[in-house]
Amino acid sequence: MNQRLELLAAYPFERLARLKAGITPPALLAHIAMSIGEPKHAPPQFVIEALRRELGKLDSYPVTAGLPEMRAACAAWLERRFNVRLNPEGMVLPVNGTREALFSFVQAMVSTTHTVRQPVVAMPNPFYQIYEGAALLAGAEPVFLNTTAGNRFQPDLDAVPVDVWKRCEVLFLCTPGNPTGSVLSLEFMRHALALADKHDFVIASDECYAELYRDEHAPPPSLLQAAAANGHDAFQRCVVFHSLSKRSSVPGLRSGFVAGDPALIKPYLLYRTYHGSAMPVPTQLASIAAWNDDAHAAVNRALYREKYARVLPILQPVLDVVEPDGAFYLWPDIQRDDEAFTRDLYATQNLTILPGSYLARDTRAGNPGRHRVRISLVAPVDECVQAAQRIRTFLESP
């Protein structure tokens, strides 16, 4: 067996289930789940219809590179959204959701010839758990870059020792961030890219929340824009990950794409061909419809904004919590043990959230998720309001 499997930590939801085991919450309150990051808004009808219409195309094997029309729709969206031009031939690849892509990309990128110096995959801390698993299974050392209120939830790249940069092969960025909601600026990403040039590593920018942001006039930038601004005309060293799961509320469609440096996309495509991860043709055709339409994404965004507007006035008098720049989480500082908080909230209010420490790792500077919890605003507006009221009751009770 692959011994590296033993390195994998229990997934946060497994730990959460253990934390809740044996507790009987009040039966009079219906359960509200705010622990998972699964969008719950109704999927756009036109995407469902496109999928239905195309089901007859299940009769043939899809190719790993995807349909030219799919790649073109992704490239066209990138151009509309970020004002960058990518050649759909060689710079864009469909993936079955970004989760599998974030994992498999690292398997394809991390070198296998090292004997003395273990490669590093650097990532923000807290982080989307796949980054760490991908690094460990590729034989790399995950290095955690703490994101805290003190650094506005942005990794301090200048604090990373040169020796770590020298071993670094992949740097993960996540913008807007899960769970912090922090958006990285173009300047930040340009600096990251300058470091990548200097120390010869690749940047994997997880931008799956790029369409969920607070300010309609300030959409989060992409690493691709930073590459263009740094004169990387072929997006050298850069790969971005985009998804329909959050943008279009279709997490079950399993549809996303990666885009960027053709010198990285080419070996990654070879890896995927062997791995066997082609996207079914009906999924691609429904995805084209979704990527071609921006109006439904704006409606989706407005729904999240409404939730923040309704929930925050209830919570802010009792909790240190702010509206994030992007994504759909609250990441409050609860100033107490996050496991006990989560457990007691469930026990008294039948409401499930996630302890922040489950999403981060211990470092010499501590666990940056400690004393924080992640609250997902994925439920319908009324349910989110009810949940906020329950949290307030919980905090106000003696």
Residue numbers at the binding site for ligand PLP (CB under 6 A): 37, 97-99, 128, 174, 178, 206, 208, 243, 245, 251, 256
User: Smaller CB distance to ligand PLP: residue 205 or 342?
Assistant: 205
User: Smaller CB distance to ligand PLP: residue 154 or 243?
Assistant: 243
User: Smaller CB distance to ligand PLP: residue 243 or 352?
Assistant: 243
- Block residue for tokens 């989480």: 329
Name the residue number minimizing CB distance to ligand PLP.
Answer: 97
Cβ 27 to ligand PLP, closest distance in Å?
30
How many angstroms separate the CA atoms of 243 and 287, rounded?
A: 10
Cβ 245 to ligand PLP, closest distance in Å?
3
User: Smaller CB distance to ligand PLP: residue 37 or 66?
Assistant: 37
User: Smaller CB distance to ligand PLP: residue 145 or 314?
Assistant: 145
What the block records as the tokens of 48 is: 């469902």
User: Smaller CB distance to ligand PLP: residue 99 or 307?
Assistant: 99
Cβ 270 to ligand PLP, closest distance in Å?
22
Cβ 227 to ligand PLP, closest distance in Å?
20
Cβ 3 to ligand PLP, closest distance in Å?
27
Cβ 208 to ligand PLP, closest distance in Å?
4
User: Smaller CB distance to ligand PLP: residue 98 or 182?
Assistant: 98
User: Smaller CB distance to ligand PLP: residue 97 or 368?
Assistant: 97
What are the angstrom distances between the C-alpha of 35 and each of 12, 39, 313, 378?
Answer: 10, 11, 21, 9
Would you call 293 exposed, middle or buried from its count of C-beta atoms within 10 A (0-12, 13-18, 19+)? Answer: middle
Cβ 210 to ligand PLP, closest distance in Å?
11
Cβ 204 to ligand PLP, closest distance in Å?
11
Cβ 173 to ligand PLP, closest distance in Å?
10
First to last CA, the chain: 52
Cβ 383 to ligand PLP, closest distance in Å?
19
User: Smaller CB distance to ligand PLP: residue 123 or 315?
Assistant: 123
User: Smaller CB distance to ligand PLP: residue 314 or 330?
Assistant: 330
| SS3 assignment for the chain | CCHHHHHCCCCHHHHHHHHHCCCCCCCCCCCEECCCCCCCCCCCHHHHHHHHHCHHHHHCCCCCCCCHHHHHHHHHHHHHHHCCCCCHHHHEEEECCHHHHHHHHHHHHCCCCCCCCCCEEEEEECCCCHHHHHHHHCCCEEEEEECCHHHCCCCCHHHCCHHHHHHEEEEEEECCCCCCCCCCCHHHHHHHHHHHHHHCCEEEEECCCCCCECCCCCCCCCHHHHHHHCCCCCCCCEEEEEEHHHHCCCCCCCCEEEEECHHHHHHHHHHHHHHCCCCCHHHHHHHHHHHHCCHHHHHHHHHHHHHHHHHHHHHCCCCECCCCCECCEECCECCCCHHHHHHHHHHHHCEECEEHHHHCCCECCECCCCCEEEEECCCCHHHHHHHHHHHHHHHHCC
What the block records as the tokens of 188 is: 């930040």
